[in-house]
Structure 1
Amino acid sequence: MLSYTLRRLLSMIPLLILVSVVVFSLAKLMPGDPFTGEIDPNNTNVEYIEEQREKLGYNDPIPVQYQRWVTNLVQGDLGKSTTYKKPVMDVIVERLPNTIFLAISALMITYILAFAMGMYSGRKPYTVGDNLIATFNYTGIAIPQYIVAIIAIYFFAFQLGWLPSSGSMTPGLEQGTWEFWSDRIYHVIMPAITLGLFSTASYTQFLRNDIVQNSEQDYVRSARARGTKESLIYNKHILRNSIIPLVTFFGFDLATLIGGAIITETIFTYPGIGMLFIDSVNTRDYPVVMSLTLLFSLLTLVGNLVADLLYGVVDPRIRY
């Protein structure tokens, strides 16, 4: 396992280099010029502008600019935000806890609901309850995330007034208190459900189909022939094998939920890195856009690695 992990980590290096080239190239192809956010907008003197361009390195060849960006990146310098006028790392660190809290909440909702509904449908297939859950699954898979968010805001925030439609917390609360965390949970419920709906529907249907398929295997018939209790057969034999592929999806969820938070956070005005990404694109804040794009790519690679490692952990038959 250790040697496999090391090989995978080494194989990520050329991928990261390729991703950095793509990210840098896309930033250069974006409309506008990041230089305009780094100079005094009131000074329109041509000599001043050319002097600053030369000073900041925007007249250097593209390979030189890429080398300088990568060198700073390796040293932990992500540049300075042209919108917030402070280091990009500080801007991301301020927003990252909100996105992590949202992603963890969505993961908890996804796996709790998926396990509960998937086990019920798998044990009682083709019943009324199974058909209702299947209807929910196909609806959750078919409806786009932004449509779900708009409908949720309209009914639960505007019509019923049960949940807030925006923000991550009520201003003025003292951090670390029960009121603070309960308010955070209160604000994250609707975005988390919206963000995790697609995964919940997919995992529920996946688990249900796997349980139904495994219940017809020979080892299950043998267990029933020995007089083993039905609950024990499902909980120990069938479920244990059915959740193996499901657990491995956890690694992919790490990247999918944080990347998918871009739409959810923007609609709910939830101040995380997803909303930061959209705002940075609109304001042409190139250093933030490049850093977040690279972060999303890195999370995808790490998610793939975690998924592979989890598969070997939950299924001892696999040896790397």
Structure 2
Amino acid sequence: MTLIRSLVTQAVTLVFVLLTVLLMVAVVLGATGVSDKILSAYVNEELRAVRQSLSQRIKDPVELEKALEQVRLELEKSYGLDRPWYERIPSLILRVLTLDLGYSRTITSFAGSRKVADIIVERLPYSILLVTSAVVISAVIGINFGLRTASRRGSLFDKLISYTAAASYGLPSWWTGLILLLVFYFYLRLLPPGGIMSTPPPTEPLAKVLDVLWHAVLPLMTLVTVIVGGWAYVTRTIVLNITQEDFVTVAKAKGLPENLLRRRYILRPAAPPIATNIVFAIAGSLGGAILTETV
């Protein structure tokens, strides 16, 4: 019962925080006039398309302007510009909570839908698969290198990995993606340049899975390259801080074997912060990697 009560409390708190954040964003955008400017830009953009269509049927400029004004009023009403910003807040929050995010003007789903919600639902699993896999692989590699460098502090291996980790952490994902794309697609012709599946996609289930994995190799390499350095450096720092604790010094003075010392007195205290970082990284991976996926 305690666990259930705790989960319910956390869920209610999360919903409350979400509603509060949405309300604050809506108030800030409305009070500063930003939301009106954004919606007005949408109206003007749609009016341009309507003008081109109507100009082919209505030759009289006066009648054309009257028709456009009528369309403008209808668009402003549909976007809520005929009401004050504070009256639009409840409907705005409701639309966000129900994933009614409007329509895309440039991107469509595989089924041809322009609804933003359909596009997100369709592509979110692939983003989660890509970014979460990159986080897990980077964590495994980075933690391993971090532990090894911490145990060889000051050695050539430690300096090499530390410099490499710092360089990796500072690499922009979009630049790294472009370089890998240039090497592995344009020069070596080993990997596809983008997309989720080949065109036309395979029909066999196993072939389809392998095709998706093949297309994920290049963005996965990009993400691992820019993420792994941070894991190595953070792990090294955590382990080095623990090795300077008094209980580790006492254990060394007792003459305990190196493996036992590392496993019981260093890795065990280092595990909670490392595990916490892994959990937060996996949770953050649900947001995807827009730049890497776009490149």
Superposition TM-score, scaled by structure 2 size:
0.76
1:235: which partner in 2? 263
Q: 1:35 aligns with which of 32, 35, 43?
A: 43
Give the structure with higher Rg (CA).
Answer: 2
1:201: which partner in 2? 229
1:58 maps to a residue whose letter is L
Relative to structure 1, the CA distance from residue 32 to residue 14 in structure 2 (aligned partners, 3 Å threshold; closer, same or farther) is closer
1:127: which partner in 2? 155
Structure with the greater relative contact order (CA < 8 A, sep ≥ 6): 1 or 2? 1
User: How does 1:231-310 map onto structure 2 within 5 Å?
Assistant: 231-254=259-282, 256-257=284-285, 261-267=289-295
2:177: which partner in 1? 149
2:81: which partner in 1? 58
Task: Indicate the larger mover: 246-255 or 95-104.
Answer: 246-255
1:18: which partner in 2? 24
2:97: which partner in 1? 74
Q: Secondary structure at the match of 2:190?
A: coil
Relative to structure 1, the CA distance from residue 175 to residue 77 in structure 2 (aligned partners, 3 Å threshold; closer, same or farther) is farther
Report how far residue 112 of structure 1 moved: 1.2
Query: Within the alignment, does 1:220 sit opposite 2:242 as a pair?
Result: no
Query: Within the alignment, does 1:110 sit opposite 2:138 as a pair?
Result: yes
Aligned length in residues: 266
1:5 maps to a residue whose letter is Q
User: How does 1:157-168 map onto structure 2 within 5 Å?
Assistant: 157-168=185-196
Cα pair 2:150 2:236 within 8 Å, conserved: yes
Relative to structure 1, the CA distance from residue 27 to residue 247 in structure 2 (aligned partners, 3 Å threshold; closer, same or farther) is farther
Task: Indicate the larger mover: 240-249 or 112-121.
Answer: 240-249
1:232 maps to a residue whose letter is L
What do you get for the CA RMSD once the two structures are aligned?
A: 3.1
Report how far residue 263 of structure 1 moved: 1.2
2:147 maps to a residue whose letter is M
2:10: which partner in 1? 5
Separation in structure 1 between the aligned mates of residue 275 and residue 77 of structure 2, nearest angstrom: 52
Report how far residue 202 of structure 1 moved: 1.5
Question: Where does structure 2 lack aligned partners over 5 or more consecutive residues?
Answer: 55-63
Cα pair 2:127 2:288 within 8 Å, conserved: no
Superposition TM-score, scaled by structure 1 size:
0.70
